[in-house]
Structure 1
């Protein structure tokens, strides 16, 4: 995949050189055309006024074409830069660098959630940071929401996988779509919410009159010139002055009413430019997956004058932005009561399109979500889309399952099956041998599977609706006045309540009751182990305490022992991180302590 992105990047760099040369030439042509055209116009008007009028029309048309072509080239340069930024980021991610240009989801972190903190779902170096390609707040929230919910409908999961597969294959479109949004700072992600909540402007004084006057004002100007030409042309200056003063009066009459509203729209206008290209790409693309078709069925496409769904509204906002230029404001207000007329247009547009922006940003968010999952699948073609079933015999059947957050060249994969004959699994092993990582591997791939994403496995069959509950990363909190043991008690309470709530859970428990003395720790651990077995729970328990394996011997039809081990070579510890059936017989804490200079008696 790195080679693919590097090839694309090379092509973009070559294309940018061509675009830059075209941009520079167009700037020169425009200046030359303006100077020579102006001189020719002056000379032509001196010779023949009618010929000068024809030349003026041709001059304005030619200059307009050059300006539009220059703007189009500038836009292509900007999109080229955005695509380069995107490709460089993807190359960095594949080289195990952090995904820095997108949010890492830290604001969704919750240490009290049943699995998010334990499985590293949010924050730096998290699953969210690996997945996220969303720039709108709607998209970021949708991604987080799907991480925190377990889907229980198999047809919905199949539709999600279908959409992920479609976006994976739409490589060119997906890269253009993501590039259109990539330059938006994470701090402006909330602007999508602000835009979707734009209100209809306040009532305008003389609104009815202005609504119709705005339509006929060009005729008023024509009538003014024609009238003075036929009657007394020398007095046209008084007529023009009177009409201009009338326009300024109407404009000032509504100044207090509209100024605050204009400021709100001004912020909106700046943000709109960032989302405009993405909306255009969606509006002009066809999708085959059912979930995308359903999500985009109300996306604004038809009966728009422009191919860009936001452009009609954006043009109004751009005109309002022009009032900040004093010279432009004087010219525009002289021609017509600019501000109240544009405000009325804004109100009419919002009234005619009440859900326009909600549908726009809902569509962008859905595409951001599946573009994120599709990118993950594209970047990791060896990962699979899991299969779900509702059988009661087997819960997890995995071939070569690995942890998605471990650097690819260092990740070790394992085969593992969890069924009715090993509903509870005791995993022993030495320090740093891979016990905790294996628990997280199972948990995080369950989350990916329920999102409709690919999982880090050659093959994964998963029981529908299985939800992780983790007892792993337990810490104290001075702020909450909670010791480690108190935090463990709260998590134990959650586990015991979950055993009775009728939901299919998989309990991922790593070294219980670390915050108390060894005797109480053993008693409590054995009691919880027995409870899980007697309640027919599905669980993986990692521990250093071999005495817990005694319980396994009493429940051979439900409990199975697994272990991770290490070996030594030239005085160094070597870990293979492969899970094996049985009980660990060797531990390495003494060796590790002696290695740092602490002698053991």
Structure 2
């Protein structure tokens, strides 16, 4: 079994190998660049020989130099591609090393665009934003992959069988490191890869009936053929044939101008996604050529073959070829000549509509498959980098959670302190007391984040973890809203009302309440917090409540509810507070607020 140090070592080996390969290819690239110049000069030299009456030797020299020049161009392009591949693979492995060493907080994509204050837990659990769960695990290279990852973290799967299928898929892809890294490289080649492909989907799924009319297709083909034939007739010196050719060319020019609007509308969409289409073809090919054993991945792969046995990569490659043909638009003179002689735009539109009729409605499915592979590959990073983390067991029992040696997944391993936790069933509420900075809030986030990971199918930061399917609700970072004239206390009431309303619909809920009702006086805080805990326990929900109100510990003796007391503690050594961040049974017996005040200079106490 690998451990985290083996994973880092593997990344280091790969980073070194690809860096060396990049340097080697760079040297070859520079050599070929110089050789191209030499070959080009050889062509010129042969032309000079030819000019000075050395016809045979000059011609032979120029031809040999030209052939050599073409060979060098082809080799130069191949080396360029290998160099770029090596550079990208080295960068990916360097980033993987940074992730293991805790430098992932410097990664630029932290998903802040998904920040939603109204979400039931994402803000409180640091799902998005700086130093977030998303920033840690995100490796996605496509818009849909990123979207699916966001959905997996905020709209957890509730079907146990589907979660288990995702677990098997993640476990399988963990053994395909080379495949995953090449997948990321090919996806990363998409310029503006995070652009929404919806416009492309709409284009592919919408028909342009004009260019599907059989009679129009025949007319376009006949006019083009007639024009070409008239240009090739050997007796064009006859003035009547010249008139016919002129009329045909003028007709095509008029048709070109009339159809230009339709052409430009289509071209604008596909030109914007041109490089993406080529990358999608490579990604689909990579998926199709790989063998997958897990049900989730094999079913995704099977959806890339249509009823006629055609592979998606082949069909999207046909689109790529048509798009390449349409790129002549960037060469105005050639583009104009092609249209006046061959009605080039019309023929391209006819081919596009033929492709859309056969494959257009499948494009959304293909890109969805790519996005799903992208999402799962990103989650697989957790499995590969942390092989000692456990695959959570999912139970059909209601509102249970058992964790052994559970730690906060975003904390660096050297700073992580693990604890055991056991929520025994409906109505069980764990009341967490303890001093400031002792670890209460971190424990709540540890529980929430590991549950989120469990429902995505990913490993969790624990040596053993079993849970049932529960909706997660939190009330931890509740702020006032001056614009809506809402105080922090009232905002917290609204959040707790949301939890109670959700519990009335479905009591398969785990709630995490941090420093409950801290925005009001101690008497009201105690009465209100006790009422909330009794209410939620009687509604058969489960959860954790952290508080400084030690008197709430008396709820444990209330026989009508199921409350258990736990606490964090601290020690004092050389006038310093020392926390062990370990969870103990019972109510906290220590406080440190006055001591902390004295430490910051407030000593008039």
* 1:515 paired residue number: 519
For residues 96 and 200 of structure 1, what CA distance do their matches in structure 2 show? Answer: 50
- Further displaced range: 200-209 or 443-452: 200-209
Instruction: Find the partner of 2:502 among 498, 501, 509.
Output: 498
Q: Among residues 366, 373, 383, which one is paired with 1:367 in the alignment?
A: 373
Give structure 2 stretches of 5+ with no counterpart: 1-6
Tell me which residue corresponds to 1:594: 598
Report how far residue 522 of structure 1 moved. Answer: 1.0
1:529 corresponds in structure 2 to 533
Structure 1 residue 162 and structure 2 residue 168: aligned?
yes
In the alignment, which residue of structure 1 is the partner of 2:405? 400
For residues 430-467 of structure 1, the C-alpha deviation after alignment (integer angstroms, 9 at most, x for no partner) is 0000011101111111111001011111111112x122
**CA distance in structure 1 between the aligned counterparts of 2:43 and 2:110, rounded to whole angstroms:** 55
Aligned residue for 1:355, secondary structure, equals: helix
Is the CA contact 2:391–2:460 (under 8 Å) kept in the aligned structure 1?
yes
Task: Output the CA distance in 2 between the equivalents of 1:592 and 1:84.
Answer: 47
Equivalent residue, structure 1, for 2:388: 382
1:129 aligned residue (113, 132, 135): 135
Aligned to 1:297: 302
**Which residue of 416, 430, 449 corresponds with 1:411?**
416
Task: State the match for 2:152 in structure 1.
Answer: 146
What are the residue-to-residue correspondences of 1:182-201 with 2, within 5 Å?
182-184=188-190, 188-198=193-203, 199-201=206-208
Distance 1:363 1:99 in 2: 29
Residue 548 of structure 1, CA deviation:
0.7
Match of 2:114 among 108, 128, 131: 108
Q: Distance in 1 between matches of 2:145 and 2:313?
A: 23
Further displaced range: 526-535 or 567-576: 526-535
Q: CA deviation at 1:246?
A: 6.0
Match of 1:75 among 81, 89, 104: 81
Per-residue displacement from partner, 1:524-575 (whole Å, max 9, x unpaired)? 1122222234334312111111111112123499322111011111111111
Partners of 2:237 and 2:82 lie apart in 1 by: 49
Q: Compared with structure 1, are the counterparts of its residues 462 and 38 closer, same or farther at alpha carbon in structure 2 (3 Å cutoff)?
A: same
Question: Are the aligned partners of 2:282 and 2:313 in contact in 1 as well (CA < 8 Å)?
Answer: no
Mapping of 1:64-463 within 5 angstroms? Answer: 67-98=73-104, 103-184=109-190, 188-198=193-203, 199-201=206-208, 203=210, 208=215, 214=221, 221=228, 225=232, 227-228=233-234, 242=246, 247-299=252-304, 310-330=316-336, 332-333=338-339, 336-391=342-397, 395-420=400-425, 423-463=428-468
What is the match of residue 4 of structure 2? none
Secondary structure, aligned partner of 1:385: coil
Q: 1:65 deviation in Å?
A: 6.0
For residues 68-124 of structure 1, what are the alpha-carbon distances to aligned partners after superposition, in whole Å with 9 as ceiling and x for unaligned? 444333333332332233222222222212366663222322222222211111222
Q: 2:3 is matched with which residue?
A: none
Secondary structure of 1:133's aligned partner: coil
Separation of aligned partners in 2, 1:531 and 1:191: 45
Does the 8 Å contact 2:256/2:340 carry over to 1? no
Structure 2 residue 11 is matched with structure 1 residue 8: no
Query: TM-score of the superposition, structure 1-length normalised?
Result: 0.87
Does the residue aligned with 2:104 lie in a helix, a strand or coil?
A: coil
Correspondence for 2:492: 488
Q: 2:580 aligns with which of 554, 576, 579?
A: 576
Shift of the 214–167 alpha-carbon distance from structure 1 to 2, 3 Å rule, reads farther
Structure 1: distance between partners of 2:424 and 2:45: 88
Task: Say which SS state the counterpart of residue 400 (structure 1) adopts.
Answer: strand
- Relative to structure 1, the CA distance from residue 85 to residue 275 in structure 2 (aligned partners, 3 Å threshold; closer, same or farther) is farther
Matches of 1:23 and 1:211, distance apart in 2: 49
**What are the superposed Cα offsets for residues 169-189 of structure 1, whole Å, 9 maximum, x if unpaired?**
11100011012223556x651
TM-score scaled by length of structure 2: 0.87
Alignment of 1:527-566 (within 5 A): 527-555=531-559, 558-566=562-570
The offset of 1:30, in angstroms, is 4.9
Aligned-residue Cα RMSD (Å) equals: 3.7
User: Quick one: structure 1 residues 192 and 257, their matched pair in 2 at CA, closer, same or farther if it must change by over 3 Å?
Assistant: closer
CA distance in 1, matches of 2:211, 2:44: 42
DSSP 3-state at the match of 1:578:
strand
The whole-number CA distance in structure 1 between the counterparts of 2:212 and 2:425 is 76
Cα pair distance change 1:491/1:422, threshold 3 Å: closer
